[in-house]
């Protein structure tokens, strides 16, 4: 017999919901968005480490050093230091925002109901979903190119397809990504766990191939592309902000993964082991490989897919492309599909289940890449490059997402004192439909960021967007909540 009222129980600091009809019949609930049971929280620190290795070893990470030297005017040494420091910094919001996911087993959109309201949570969710769909499209473009080169190494006739072959590869890779996520969290866990050692092996193999053809001393001595005598501080800070922005999205929706962690210790250690060093080493590999590419293949090539495509041996091209396909798949499924899948379900959980949300994510990503696909098919001519979109997003979106990260941390740790009404997050009678404190705290930094674009005096506010946005958003939110006549603290219904 179904119980009328939901019950919350605790096991070793982990909370579990036994849903009654009050939650099961709520329009805010479906099975995929429900809190994970304690027995479903099976990811240990090595699974989470593998998750981060799988997400970090990808084509965009490989190109980060080049982005910082070409677009941000840093030396190679400064670029690599910015990457390492940024990923140490981003560990802070990643770890803090993972806490409620591990404790309560809830995904990112459900957690946002506490700080933005049960209905209001859809606004930051959709902002997060849009950028994830864009990254999904970009990564799928890289994966599609790898499939095209893989098939070209096996079938001579495939090479003649040119851009059409790349588009076919895109659609094959697009379908493969959606299939993995539709199968659920366990398939993602095992994909990441199995692919991590393969990806490390690929990195070591590429490094052994490149090192005889590059001088690290000469590489580190290359002068920066910035005005002579210019202070390094502003250039370094802008590059640092962009690198923080690389994982700013995951610092928000990390509960989508930490809800499967066995304990807080596992999620903390897994992220520390898996993120900073992997990002630093693979970005360093990209710098070395790009520098060595002139001697290796005769031209400067800044992405590994194109570089390996220059190899004359079809066998090695096929093997390398197969591994790059695995690398891109492991990144794309975890980093760019899981979040929008949950975000789209949050709009109408009773109408949109996981399968529908995955398909919606896929079609939005496809639409965002339509311009690039039509170029490859020769149906349109355009000078807009994928690299330009990619580098602009890093800085711009980090500015928008920073306030959300700050608000989430302040709400959970300072306002709610790490106590949430687990059943209430799935009903309409505990948390407000719209929490205007969250929207004011989000809106003010975003407006100031946009205004700073037109002001030389305040351009620093945009350049340091993630830092200024997260700090100001958190401070404003805390102030507004503290000024309320009754504190906005909800006691756990244990």
Task: Kindly report, residue by residue over 475-491, the tens digit of the pLDDT.
Answer: 999 999 998 754 444 44
Q: 460: which 2 tokens? A: 């620093």
pLDDT at 343 over 80: yes
Band of residue 398 on the pLDDT scale cut at 50, 70, 90: low
User: What average pLDDT does range 80-86 have in this prediction?
Assistant: 92
User: What average pLDDT does range 47-51 have in this prediction?
Assistant: 93
Q: Give the model's pLDDT for residue 262.
A: 96
Fold exhibited by the domain 42-395: Hydantoin permease (1.10.4160)
Q: Give the model's pLDDT for residue 168.
A: 95
Q: What ranges do the domains of the chain cover?
A: 42-395
Q: Give the model's pLDDT for residue 284.
A: 87
User: What average pLDDT does range 390-411 have in this prediction?
Assistant: 76
Q: Give the model's pLDDT for residue 388.
A: 60
Question: What is the DSSP secondary structure assignment for residue 224, as one 8-state letter?
Answer: P
Q: Give the model's pLDDT for residue 389.
A: 61
Provide the phi-psi class of 184: left if phi over 0, else alpha when psi is between -120 and 50, else beta: left
Q: Are 132 and 339 within 8 A, CB to CB?
A: yes
Band of residue 385 on the pLDDT scale cut at 50, 70, 90: low
Q: Are 406 and 477 within 8 A, CB to CB?
A: yes
Pairing of strands 7-11, 14-18: antiparallel
What are phi and psi for residue 10, nearest 5 degrees?
-120, 135
Residue that wins the pLDDT comparison between 431 and 69: 431
What average pLDDT does the structure give for the chain? 86
Q: Give the model's pLDDT for residue 2.
A: 56
User: What average pLDDT does range 362-378 have in this prediction?
Assistant: 90
pLDDT at 3 over 70: no
The residues facing 14 across adjacent strands are 11
Q: Give the model's pLDDT for residue 491.
A: 46
Least confident of 251-265, 322-336, 364-378: 322-336
Torsion of CA 414, 237, 95, 325, to 10 degrees: 150
User: In sequence order, which residues have a C-beta less than 8 Å from that of residue 177 and are 6 or more positions away?
Assistant: 136, 140, 143, 329, 332, 333, 337, 362
Q: Give the model's pLDDT for residue 488.
A: 45
Q: Are 16 and 5 within 8 A, CB to CB?
A: no
What is the spatial distance between Cα 432 and Cα 484, in angstroms, rounded to a whole number? 14
Residue that wins the pLDDT comparison between 460 and 403: 403
pLDDT at 494 over 90: no
Least confident of 260-269, 277-286, 381-390: 381-390
User: What average pLDDT does range 121-126 have in this prediction?
Assistant: 95
Q: Give the model's pLDDT for residue 439.
A: 97
Q: Are 264 and 99 within 8 A, CB to CB?
A: yes
The residues facing 256 across adjacent strands are none
pTM: 0.87
Task: Kindly report, residue by residue over 312-325, the tens digit of the pLDDT.
Answer: 778 877 887 888 88
The segment with the largest mean pLDDT, out of 84-88, 221-225, 307-311, 454-458, is: 84-88
Band of residue 198 on the pLDDT scale cut at 50, 70, 90: confident
Query: In the chain, what percentage of residues exceed pLDDT 70?
Result: 93
Cα 180 from chain centroid? 17
Residue that wins the pLDDT comparison between 392 and 402: 402
Task: Kindly report, residue by residue over 17-31, the tens digit of the pLDDT.
Answer: 999 999 999 999 999
pLDDT at 395 over 60: no
């Amino acid at each position: 017999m179904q119980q009328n009222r939901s019950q919350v129980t605790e096991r070793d600091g982990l909370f579990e919901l036994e849903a009654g009809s009050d939650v099961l019949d709520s329009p805010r609930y479906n099975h995929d968005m429900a809190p994970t049971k304690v027995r479903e929280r099976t990811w240990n620190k090595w699974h989470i480490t593998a998750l981060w290795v799988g997400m970090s070893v990808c084509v965009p990470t490989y190109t980060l050093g080049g982005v910082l030297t070409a677009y941000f005017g840093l030396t190679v040494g400064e670029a690599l230091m910015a990457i390492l420091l940024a990923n140490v910094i981003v560990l802070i919001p990643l770890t803090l925002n993972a806490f409620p996911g591990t404790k309560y087993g809830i995904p990112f959109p459900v957690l946002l109901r506490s700080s933005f309201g049960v209905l209001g949570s859809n606004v930051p969710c959709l902002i997060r979903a849009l950028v994830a769909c864009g990254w999904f499209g970009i990564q799928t473009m890289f994966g599609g190119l790898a499939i095209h080169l893989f098939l070209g190494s096996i079938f001579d006739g495939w090479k003649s397809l040119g851009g059409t072959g790349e588009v076919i590869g895109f659609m094959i890779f697009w379908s493969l990504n959606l299939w993995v996520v539709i199968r659920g969290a366990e398939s993602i866990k095992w994909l990441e766990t199995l692919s991590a050692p393969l990806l490390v092996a690929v990195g070591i193999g590429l490094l052994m191939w490149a090192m005889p053809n590059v001088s690290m001393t000469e590489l580190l001595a290359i002068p920066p592309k910035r005005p002579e005598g210019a202070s390094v501080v502003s250039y370094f800070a802008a590059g640092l902000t962009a690198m923080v922005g690389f994982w700013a999205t995951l610092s928000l929706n990390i509960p989508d993964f930490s809800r499967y962690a066995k304990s807080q210790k596992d999620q903390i250690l897994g992220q520390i082991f898996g993120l900073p060093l992997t990002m630093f080493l693979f970005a360093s590999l990209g710098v070395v490989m790009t520098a060595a590419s002139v001697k290796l293949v005769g031209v400067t090539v800044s992405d590994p897919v194109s570089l390996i495509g220059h190899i004359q041996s079809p066998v090695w091209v096929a093997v390398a492309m197969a591994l790059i396909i695995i690398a891109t798949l492991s990144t794309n499924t975890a980093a760019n599909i899981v979040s929008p899948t949950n975000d789209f379900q949050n709009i109408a959980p009773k109408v949109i289940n996981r399968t529908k949300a995955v398909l919606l994510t896929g079609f939005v990503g496809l639409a965002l890449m339509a311009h690039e696909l039509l170029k490859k098919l020769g149906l349109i001519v355009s000078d807009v490059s994928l690299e330009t979109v990619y580098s602009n997003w890093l800085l711009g979106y980090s500015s928008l997402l920073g306030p959300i990260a700050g608000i989430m941390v302040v709400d959970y740790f300072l306002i709610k004192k790490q106590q949430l009404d687990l059943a209430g997050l799935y009903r309409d009678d505990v948390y407000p439909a719209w929490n205007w404190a969250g929207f004011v705290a989000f809106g003010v930094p975003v407006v100031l960021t946009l205004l700073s674009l037109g002001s030389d005096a305040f351009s620093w506010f945009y350049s340091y967007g993630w830092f200024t946005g997260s700090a100001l958003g958190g401070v404003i939110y805390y102030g507004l909540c503290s000024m309320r006549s009754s504190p906005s603290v909800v006691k756990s219904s244990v």
